[in-house]
Structure 1
Amino acid sequence: MYHPTTLLAATLVLASSVRAIQLKYDNTYDTSDLSLDAVACSNGPNGLETKYGYTTLGTVPTYPNLGAVYTVSGWDSPECGACYAVTYQATGVTVNILAVDKADTGFTVSQQAMDTLTANHAVEFGQVEVSFEAVDPSQCQIPKS
C-alpha cells in the first residue's frame, strides 16, 4: 500500500532533479576554431584552458554539443565544464551539453546541437522548451579534475 506522503515526497525529489527551461541557438558556438578566450570558461582556476588544455571550441570533446548556460555566473565560474542532459520532449532526443559560457537565461547552444534535439528544426523553431538535469561531467567526456 502506498502512502500519499511517500508518493508526494518521491514526486518532489524527481521534480527537483529534472526541470524545464528555454533553449535557443547561437551560431557562435558552431565555430570550431573559436578561441576559448572568447567565452567565460576560458582561463582561471575553473577555466577549460587551465583545467584541461582545450584552446578552441573544436578541441572540446563534446563539440558541437556545448554552449552558454544560465548556471555559469561569468568568467571562471565554478560551473564551467558542468554537463547537462537536455531533452526535447517532442522528439524524445537527449543531448549532453557542456557549459562553456554564461547565458542570462536558459541554454544557448550551437545550431548543430539544437538541430540534433529538434530533428533539424533549430532555425524554424528558434527557441524551444526542454527538460534538463545536471549529470556527471564524464557524460560530456570531461576528465576528472
Structure 2
Amino acid sequence: MRLLSSLTILSSLWAFASAQGSTPSPTPTTSTSATSTSSSTATATPTTPLISTTVSYDTLYDNKAGSLSSVACSDGSYGLLTKNYTTFGSLPNYPLIGGAFSIAGWNSPNCGSCYELAYTTTGAGNTTTTTRVNILAIDVAVNSFNIALGGLNRLTGGRGVELGRVNVVARQVASSVCGL
C-alpha cells in the first residue's frame, strides 16, 4: 500500500510539472527503494520532477587546474568565468562537476544548475541502497550526465571505471546546494 501511495504521489507531481510546461528530458521515473542511505542531502520542491537517465565520466573534469574556458559554461552572461571562477578546482563543488543534458551549448541559462543524482544498488536479500551526490552543471552532455571520475566514484563506491556508465534518478535542486 505504501508503494502504491508513493507511486501515486510521484505520478501526480509529474503531471503537475508537465502541466506547468517544465517537462524534462530524458524520461520521468516512478522508482522507489525499500532502504536508502545518502551521501548528501538536498531539498527539492514538491514539483521537482524526477528524471531517469544515465551518468558516465570524463577525466577532463578531474583536472583541478582545468580552465573553465574549455567548457560551455565559460564566459557570456551565464558563464562561470563572469562569477570569478577560473578553474575546475575553484568551483565550490569540485570534483562534483560535469556536463548535464540541460545545457545545450555555450552560455546556456542552465549553467551553474545543480542536480542531485541518486544511484541505487540491490544487495543480498533484495535490500536496496541509494547513494546521492550533487553535481554542478558546467558543460554539455547529450541526454545524460557526464561528470568527473571523482564524482562517479563517490556515487558508485569507487567503481566508476569498472562500471563506466550507470543508471541514475536525477532531480534539479537549488544551485546553492552545489555552493553557488
* Fold conserved between structures, TM > 0.5: yes
Offset, 1:17: 1.2
Offset, 1:105: 2.3
Aligned to 2:61: 29
Q: Which of the residues 47, 52, 55 maps onto 2:86?
A: 55
- Is 1:20 the counterpart of 2:77 in the alignment? no
Distance 1:11 1:17 in 2: 8
Total equivalences in the alignment: 135
- Is 1:132 the counterpart of 2:131 in the alignment? no
SS at match of 2:86: coil
Distance 2:51 2:66 in 1: 30
TM-score by length of 2: 0.72
Name the amino acid aligned to 1:57: F
Q: Which of the residues 146, 158, 169 maps onto 1:108?
A: 146
Name the amino acid aligned to 2:71: V
Aligned to 2:45: none
Output one character per residue of 1:41-94: Cα deviation in whole Å (capped at 9) or x when no partner.
0000000111x2000000000000000011101000000000001111114111
TM-score by length of 1: 0.88
- Is 1:119 the counterpart of 2:144 in the alignment? no
Aligned to 2:37: none
Structure 1 unaligned regions, length at least 5? none
Aligned to 1:72: 103
- Is 1:93 the counterpart of 2:93 in the alignment? no
Offset, 1:11: 3.0
Structure 2 unaligned regions, length at least 5? 15-29, 31-47, 122-128
Cα RMSD between the aligned structures?
1.6
Name the amino acid aligned to 1:22: T
Output one character per residue of 1:13-65: Cα deviation in whole Å (capped at 9) or x when no partner.
15571121010000001011111000000000000111x20000000000000
Name the amino acid aligned to 1:17: P
Distance 1:107 1:11 in 2: 22
Question: Identity over aligned residues, as a percent?
Answer: 38
